[in-house]
């Protein structure tokens, strides 16, 4: 449900080293292009990013089975996801700094190996505490894989091939969360929940090996490690970790009625103030926030935030309806959700072709409009919706997602100088993850509040004291008396109560879907602020 960091503000010696490294990278992209081994390395990195994205939803779809296996309570098991997300959201902005310090090759390889090793730990976790510890380590160590791929796409890939690569990377980034429930349900139903983690071992080792052998696009700047801003890292960890915790746990704990939520909110606010102050005054900050001074990057990051709301919100609400209203199991839910993944895959070439035919701003306007329309089409849910009722809205939403992703990537990262991309990629990805976290927190809050409101309104309409309602209950009791052995009148009341709860859930989900559609509608209001992107100009002496 997360983006990276780095800074180019350094002492003159460090600046020279960073400039030389980026100049070398720009010269290769401009003059020689990427070699075949670079493409192999990028392919391995993209697959690693797919696994990192997939691991969030593949586990979320099987939390009930993990809860039973670890003998955890319903509240405790949520920490399996929260620990992962909190740790990941800290690593994502840090990845830009680490990529410049130790190099893309070393960072990605270590991230893949760490993700794989902690996956093994999760698979053999002996109790809930062990699982939470391994999941936190998995999120932190694996979190660098995601922004690193985006950074390489917009700094090392030649401009003439960047659009096609961006389409593939965008497809992978959006396809993995969509396929998560399908794969998670299948693995859990056919094997066991421990295989959700064991399936990472083979691919993880292979990805690390290929990445180490093939990636060679930059050089490390090790002196950066000696100037690591420990205070800034501490403030960032407290700020982002507390923010993610509040967003995840707030809806479940009645927000500020809970003392822990109040405490973490205070920590978040204080740490945020210290983090921003430290970042803007430190000579070598771990995150360079001045990237937001670029209007297109700032707007692209905001659009990424909104995409996070739509992407993770849709993946959350549709399975919630299918399980809670229709009674589908995880495998059935996955089969229905697979439509979204298939359409995303098929629409990727169309998105790539559109990006070459129409201007970026027009393409983004089209994508945002279609996505909002697809979500709005789903807001007419009733208790009978199944595969075919969801089919057209899923097709519209999934195809729109690819039409959004390509121009947003280009808008945010495509025109930045190569030496700025590593830092900016982290921030950009962070905004998408925060969009997912904040969006889900808002949706869960609306769910908890509106469902009670709708239940009260429906219950008032079927008050047994009303003659018409009493007649209906009597007729239902008569029919139930022929098929049950107990008190038919009590059974009739219980049946009506369940129907009221079901309808209240459906009405509340429709409210949530309308809110997501409204978020995309509001994004369209920002389009006049977007400047026409221009390709970043490489200085004539970049290679000297």
Mean pLDDT of the residues in the chain: 80
Compute the average pLDDT of residues 27-41. 64
Q: Please, which residues have CB within 8 angstroms of residue 61's CB and are 6 or more apart in sequence?
A: 180, 181, 184, 185, 188, 319, 330, 333, 334
Widest distance between CA atoms in the chain: 91
- Residues 264-272: contacts with CB within 8 Å, 24+ apart? 267/238, 267/242, 268/238, 268/239, 268/242, 268/243, 270/238, 271/235, 271/236, 271/238, 271/239, 271/242, 272/235, 272/239, 272/243
Question: What is the DSSP annotation of 358-421?
Answer: S-HHHHHHHHHHHHHHHHHHHTT--TT--HHHHHHHHHHHHHHHHHHHHHHHHHHHTTS-HHHH
Rounded Cα distance, 15 and 11, in Å: 6
Sign of CA dihedral 314, 317, 322, 325: negative
Q: Domains in the chain, start-ordered, CATH in brackets?
A: 12-229+282-452+506-529 (1.20.1250.20)
Residue 115 has pLDDT above 50, yes or no: yes
Q: Please, which residues have CB within 8 angstroms of residue 357's CB and are 6 or more apart in sequence?
A: none
Rounded Cα distance, 74 and 79, in Å: 10
Rounded Cα distance, 206 and 199, in Å: 12
Question: CA 529, 531, 537: angle at the middle one, nearest 5?
Answer: 155
Classify the phi-psi angles of 35: left when phi > 0, otherwise alpha if psi is within -120 to 50, otherwise beta. beta
Question: What is the DSSP annotation of 371-387?
Answer: HHHHHHHHTT--TT--H
SS3 471: helix
Residue 17 has pLDDT above 70, yes or no: no
The distance of Cα 257 from the centroid of its chain, to the nearest Å, equals: 28
172-186, 218-232, 390-404, 424-438, range with greatest mean pLDDT: 390-404
What was the pLDDT predicted at 483?
57
37-51, 155-169, 420-434, range with greatest mean pLDDT: 37-51
Give the residue, 414 or 521, on which the prediction is more confident: 521
Which band of pLDDT confidence, cut at 50, 70 and 90, is reported for residue 27?
Answer: very low
Q: Exposed (0-12), middle (13-18) or buried (19+): which is 281, by Cβ within 10 Å?
A: exposed
Compute the average pLDDT of residues 92-106. 86
Tokens, residue 491: 């059974």
Give the residue, 257 or 299, on which the prediction is more confident: 299
In 3D space, the residue among 148, 214, 100, 154 whose CA is nearest the CA of residue 3 turns out to be 148
What was the pLDDT predicted at 376?
94
Give the residue, 243 or 489, on which the prediction is more confident: 243
Residue 120 has pLDDT above 60, yes or no: yes
3-class SS string, 272-301:
HHHHHHHHHHCCCCCCCHHHHHCHHHHHHH
What was the pLDDT predicted at 218?
78
What was the pLDDT predicted at 188?
78
Rounded Cα distance, 35 and 209, in Å: 18
SS3 163: helix
What was the pLDDT predicted at 10?
30
pTM for the model: 0.76
67-76, 121-130, 404-413, range with greatest mean pLDDT: 121-130
What was the pLDDT predicted at 267?
93
Provide the terminal-to-terminal Cα distance of the chain, rounded to the nearest Å: 42
What was the pLDDT predicted at 147?
84
Q: Are 302 and 427 in contact (CB under 8 A)?
A: no
SS3 539: coil
Q: Cα–Cα distances in Å, from 206 out to 105, 109, 198?
A: 14, 10, 14
Tokens, residue 241: 């970790």
In 3D space, the residue among 500, 520, 182, 180 whose CA is nearest the CA of residue 377 turns out to be 520
Calculate what percentage of the chain has a pLDDT beyond 70: 86
In 3D space, the residue among 82, 91, 175, 181 whose CA is nearest the CA of residue 128 turns out to be 82
For residue range 461-507, what is the model confidence (pLDDT) as tens digits? 776 667 666 667 766 776 666 556 566 767 777 777 788 888 999 99
Which band of pLDDT confidence, cut at 50, 70 and 90, is reported for residue 109?
Answer: very high
Q: Are 112 and 61 in contact (CB under 8 A)?
A: no
């Amino acid at each position: 449900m997360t983006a990276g960091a780095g800074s180019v503000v350094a002492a003159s010696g460090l600046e020279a080293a960073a400039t030389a490294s980026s100049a070398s990278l720009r010269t290769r992209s401009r003059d020689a292009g990427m070699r075949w081994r670079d493409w192999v390395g990028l392919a391995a990195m993209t697959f690693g990013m797919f696994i990192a994205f997939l691991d969030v939803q593949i586990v979320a779809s099987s939390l009930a089975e993990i809860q039973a296996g670890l003998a955890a309570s319903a509240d405790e098991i949520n920490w399996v996801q929260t620990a992962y997300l909190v740790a990941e959201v800290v690593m994502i902005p840090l990845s830009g700094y680490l990529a410049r310090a130790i190099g893309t090759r070393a960072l990605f390889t270590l991230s893949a190996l760490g993700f794989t090793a902690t996956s093994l730990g999760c698979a053999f976790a002996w109790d809930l505490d062990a699982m939470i510890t391994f999941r936190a380590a998995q999120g932190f160590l694996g979190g660098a894989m995601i922004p690193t791929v985006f950074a390489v796409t917009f700094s090392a890939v030649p401009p003439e091939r960047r659009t096609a690569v961006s389409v593939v990377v965008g497809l992978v980034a959006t396809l993995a969360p969509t396929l998560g429930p399908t794969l998670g349900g299948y693995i859990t139903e056919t094997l066991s929940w421990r295989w959700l983690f064991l399936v990472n071992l083979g691919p993880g080792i292979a990805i690390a090996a290929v990445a180490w052998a093939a990636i060679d696009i930059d050089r490390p700047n090790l002196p950066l490690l000696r100037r690591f801003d420990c205070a800034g890292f501490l403030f960032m960890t407290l700020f982002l970790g507390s923010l993610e915790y509040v967003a995840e746990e707030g809806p479940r704990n009645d927000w500020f009625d809970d003392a822990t939520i109040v405490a973490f909110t205070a920590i978040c606010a204080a740490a945020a103030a210290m983090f921003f102050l430290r970042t803007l005054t430190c000579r070598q900050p771990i995150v360079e926030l001045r990237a937001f001074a670029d209007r297109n990057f700032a707007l692209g990051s905001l659009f990424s935030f909104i995409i996070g709301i739509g992407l993770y919100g849709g993946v959350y609400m549709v399975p919630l309806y299918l399980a809670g209203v229709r009674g589908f199991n995880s495998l059935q839910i996955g089969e229905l959700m697979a439509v979204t993944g298939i359409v995303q895959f098929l629409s990727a070439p169309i998105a790539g072709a559109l990006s070459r035919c129409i201007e970026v701003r027009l393409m983004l306007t089209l994508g945002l409009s279609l996505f909002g329309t697809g979500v709005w089409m789903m807001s007419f849910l009733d208790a009978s919706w199944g595969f075919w009722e969801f089919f057209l809205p899923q097709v519209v939403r999934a195809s729109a997602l690819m039409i959004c992703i390509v121009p947003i990537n280009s808008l945010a990262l495509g025109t930045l100088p190569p030496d700025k991309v590593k830092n900016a990629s982290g921030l950009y990805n962070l905004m998408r993850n925060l969009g997912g976290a904040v969006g889900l927190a808002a949706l869960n809050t609306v769910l908890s509040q509106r469902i009670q409101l709708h239940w009260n309104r429906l219950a008032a309409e079927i008050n047994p004291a009303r003659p018409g309602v009493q007649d209906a209950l009597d007729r239902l009791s008569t029919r139930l008396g022929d098929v049950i052995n107990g008190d038919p009148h009590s059974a009739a009341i219980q049946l009506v109560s369940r129907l009221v709860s079901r309808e209240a859930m459906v009405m509340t989900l429709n409210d949530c879907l309308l809110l997501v559609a409204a978020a995309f509608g509001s994004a369209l209001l920002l389009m006049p602020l977007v400047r026409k992107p221009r390709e970043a100009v490489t200085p004539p002496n970049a290679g000297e």
